[in-house]
Amino acid sequence: MSTLSDLVVAHGRSTPEDIEWLHLLVGDCQLLADLAFADIVLWVPTDDGFIAVAHSRPSSAATLFYRDFVGQPIRAEWKALASEAFETGTIVDSHAPDWYEEMPTRVRAIPVFRRISASSAAVAPHPIAVMTRHTNLSEARTPSRQELTFNACANDLFGMIATGDFPDLGAPSGPRRGAPRASDGLIRLDVDGVTTFASPNALSAFNRMGFTDELEGESLAEVTTRLLMGNAVVDESLPLVVTGRAPWRTDIEARGVTVSLRTIPIRTHGERTGAIVLCRDVTEMRHQEQELITKDATIREIHHRVKNNLQTVASLLRIQARRTHSEEAREALGQAMRRVAAIAVVHDTLSEGLAQIVDFDDVFDRVLLLVAEVASAHNTTAHPKSSGSFGELPSEYATPLALALTELVTNAVEHGLAGRSGEVEIIANRSPDKLTVKVKDNGSGLPEGKVGDGLGTQIVRTLIQGELSGTIDWHTMVGTGTEVTIEVPLRYLRKA
């Protein structure tokens, strides 16, 4: 299914500012559908009519339309109503029941006006879209007080849409996860912040925080003040939210219960006349989020400690290498030190962020710094250079790859360029399916094209073929050194 932006660009006549406004509006279409107990469809104008770019079904009532309208042109029976609302800039209701698949429905068309900026009351001179509300009349019955209030709230919001007052550009773009919905709890406030209606779910949420009376007739600000008395930390935006003055969202916590509040100020002709406050008990959700934060912090701390321990081991190996009198032992300890240091670089990078993914280009740049130490120990002047990009890799890939490349670069300096000056070039080429890395030197090359069987070669084979399920190929270029090619499949990365 095409996105709203794709549909508007392909068929509509909207500007980028219009599209941004429509995205904000679509974010609240589900709220409108739930409050209106009706299907909500958003239409943008085209050269020959309108095309649907969003469709929300009510969770509070049965939907009229089992097939989605997104991407479809407007039906002939709704076109005149939508056109009238679009041309006149006013809300238009159908005069007689509209029949859809033998069900009587009532249709309302609302013009969508865009506010120019958050600091200005000016709106665009013409509507940018039309929203239609489709109410099922076949299930008509005497509505409850809650249904009447929900419908009144929906009508207020539709009126604000038609004047450019909703959505509100002053509202911060908070996370959608845990956002209160109409069915979670709704409180209606008058212009003074006094509760005129509280749904049963809203009352239950406040009861769990310790409020035992009726919310109706009470100032929501005073109620929350009593609940939070003694709390050391209170969100500075809370007074504006509970008085209905700002379109913000905040959490309140009392007696171990956390309730998320979202306020939508109601405006008529630009003047605030009240507010809708949506509330939701998010205690369990916040507890889970806190657990995740704790786990992330623990993982970062583990990586940090592992890095420190590995650096300590590398330092001990370096000290031991300096004290030994055997050249062979000194060389073996030096190689072990560099391998441990390469692994430490990966853990150091992992300890800097929450994700278990590292920028391997940064890791490899730090690994290359080890080349200077190797070269100085072998009276060699090495000029390492790299090209291409490794990209981001999970730790499962980064650790063995860093260790394998450390071995290959070290071998190129120790053996290919031993006692001479030369270059070591690392070329990375990443595609969606695999990562290809070439390590080239212009040294003496492998003797008679034979691949060595030392510990370093065994380590590289084990890491690339065993842990990364990749391939490795040594190729001697006559007179120009050695080229090693590594290919690592990224199929596991695609699954993630």
DSSP 144: P
Phi, psi of 357 (to 5 degrees): -130, 140
Range of the domain at 143: 4-161
- Write out the two tokens for 438: 């070439």
Residues 365 and 488 in one domain: yes
- Tell whether 28 is covered by a domain: yes
Please count the structural domains in the chain.
Answer: 4
Residue 34 CA to residue 21 CA, distance in Å, equals 21
Last residue of a domain, one of 335, 355, 375: 355
C-alpha dihedral (115, 117, 120, 126), degrees to nearest 10 = -30
Side chain identity at 470, as an amino acid letter? Answer: G
Residues 252 and 293 in one domain: no
Residues 221 and 156 in one domain: no
Residues 18 and 146 in one domain: yes
Residues of the chain whose pLDDT is less than 50?
A: 1, 495-496
* pLDDT recorded at residue 495: 47
Q: Report in angstroms the alpha-carbon separations of 345 from 331, 339, 402.
A: 21, 10, 9
- Check: CB of residue 249 under 8 Å from CB of residue 173: no
- Write out the two tokens for 19: 């599209």
Residues 463 and 375 in one domain: yes
Residues 9 and 149 in one domain: yes
Residues 331 and 457 in one domain: no
* pLDDT recorded at residue 450: 61
Residues 14 and 112 in one domain: yes
Closest to 425 measured CA to CA, from 402, 449, 442: 442
Largest CA distance in the chain: 102
- Tell whether 89 is covered by a domain: yes
List own/partner pairs for 296-299 with CB under 8 A and 24 or more apart: 296/354, 299/354, 299/356
- Tell whether 173 is covered by a domain: no
pLDDT tens-digit series, residues 134-163: 998 877 678 899 999 999 999 999 999 999
Last residue of a domain, one of 355, 389, 415: 355
- Tell whether 101 is covered by a domain: yes
Residues 15 and 146 in one domain: yes
Residue 14 CA to residue 114 CA, distance in Å, equals 11
- Tell whether 93 is covered by a domain: yes
- Write out the two tokens for 203: 């009352």
- Check: CB of residue 409 under 8 Å from CB of residue 448: no
- Tell whether 350 is covered by a domain: yes
- Tell whether 168 is covered by a domain: no
Burial group, residue 1, by CB count within 10 angstroms (0-12, 13-18, 19+): exposed
3 state SS of 487 = strand
Total-model pTM:
0.66
Residues 18 and 99 in one domain: yes
Last residue of a domain, one of 319, 334, 355: 355
Q: Report in angstroms the alpha-carbon separations of 430 from 159, 289, 384, 482, 489.
A: 53, 35, 20, 22, 10
- Check: CB of residue 475 under 8 Å from CB of residue 485: yes
Burial group, residue 330, by CB count within 10 angstroms (0-12, 13-18, 19+): middle
- Tell whether 245 is covered by a domain: yes
Residues 374 and 273 in one domain: no
Residues 154 and 190 in one domain: no
Q: At 51, which CATH number?
A: 3.30.450.280
Between strands 421-430 and 381-388, the pairing is parallel
- Write out the two tokens for 318: 């370096």
Q: At 208, which CATH number?
A: 3.30.450.20
3 state SS of 249 = strand
pLDDT tens-digit series, residues 201-259: 999 999 999 999 999 999 999 999 988 877 656 677 888 899 999 998 888 988 889 99
Residue 303 CA to residue 298 CA, distance in Å, equals 9
